[in-house]
């Protein structure tokens, strides 16, 4: 990235300038200098030099791209705040048939076929397993085979939750019954 700078008004006329980096630059026809890297440009700005409008715009654009890239990378590796609710979809939950599952990471709750319960309200081994299986599903967004495996794992964990915690299981069974047999 090259940056064009113009000298301060108080600078004496000269034909070339040597910077702290050791690089020597010659002045352009209009009295400015085009430097090859941002460090040299920053050094000159400290001495009162000004970027031209195009270089200023390019620097802002470069900063915006770097910021957006960092945000995208943080989202990709999980550094950003999680999406409030992830839909895992319909999975087989063993003897409980197929149920629709969502995971609200920010509130730390699971939604199984419309029944919402806090992951802190179930046994810690099941809540940890659910979080891990949900994370595996979310991280497998681009790989269909991995996503299917993660969905199966979520289904196994949910089946265990429904078996072990009857207060959740009974509500889910009620919803499934209503959905099938009531109009």
* 80 pLDDT more than 70: no
Q: What is the pLDDT of residue 183?
A: 55
At 1 the pLDDT is 60
Average pLDDT over all residues of the chain: 81
Q: How far is the C-alpha of 118 from the C-alpha of 129, rounded, in Å?
A: 14
Q: What is the pLDDT of residues 103-153, one digit of tens each?
A: 988 888 999 998 999 998 999 899 999 999 988 888 887 788 888 888 999
The predicted model gives 78-104 an average pLDDT of 80
> Looking at residue 115, what is its pLDDT?
92
Backbone phi and psi for residue 72, each to the nearest 5 degrees, phi listed first: -65, -40
HSE on the CB side for 171, CA within 13 Å?
11
What's this model's pTM, rounded to 2 decimal places?
A: 0.53
State how far the Cα of 179 lies from the Cα of 183, in Å rounded to an integer.
8
Highest mean pLDDT among 59-68, 81-90, 91-100, 157-166: 157-166
**16: which strand partners?**
26
pLDDT at 64: 74
Contact 172, 165 (CB under 8 A): no
pLDDT at 137: 87
């Amino acid at each position: 990235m090259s940056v064009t700078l113009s000298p301060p008004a108080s600078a004496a006329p000269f034909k070339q300038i040597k910077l702290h980096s050791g690089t020597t630059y010659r002045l352009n026809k209009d009295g400015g200098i085009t430097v090859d890297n941002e460090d040299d440009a920053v050094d000159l700005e400290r001495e009162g030099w000004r970027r031209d409008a195009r270089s200023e715009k390019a620097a802002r654009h470069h900063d915006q791209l770097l910021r957006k890239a960092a945000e995208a990378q943080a989202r990709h590796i999980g550094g950003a705040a999680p999406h409030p609710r992830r839909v895992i979809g319909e999975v087989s939950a063993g003897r409980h048939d197929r149920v629709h599952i969502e995971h609200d990471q920010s509130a730390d709750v699971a939604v199984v076929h419309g029944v919402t319960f806090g992951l802190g309200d179930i046994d810690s081994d099941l809540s940890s397993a659910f979080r891990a299986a949900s994370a595996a599903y979310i991280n497998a967004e681009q790989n269909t085979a991995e996503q299917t495996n993660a969905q199966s794992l979520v289904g196994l964990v949910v089946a265990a939750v429904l078996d072990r915690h009857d207060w959740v299981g009974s509500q889910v069974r009620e919803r499934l019954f209503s959905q099938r047999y009531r109009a």
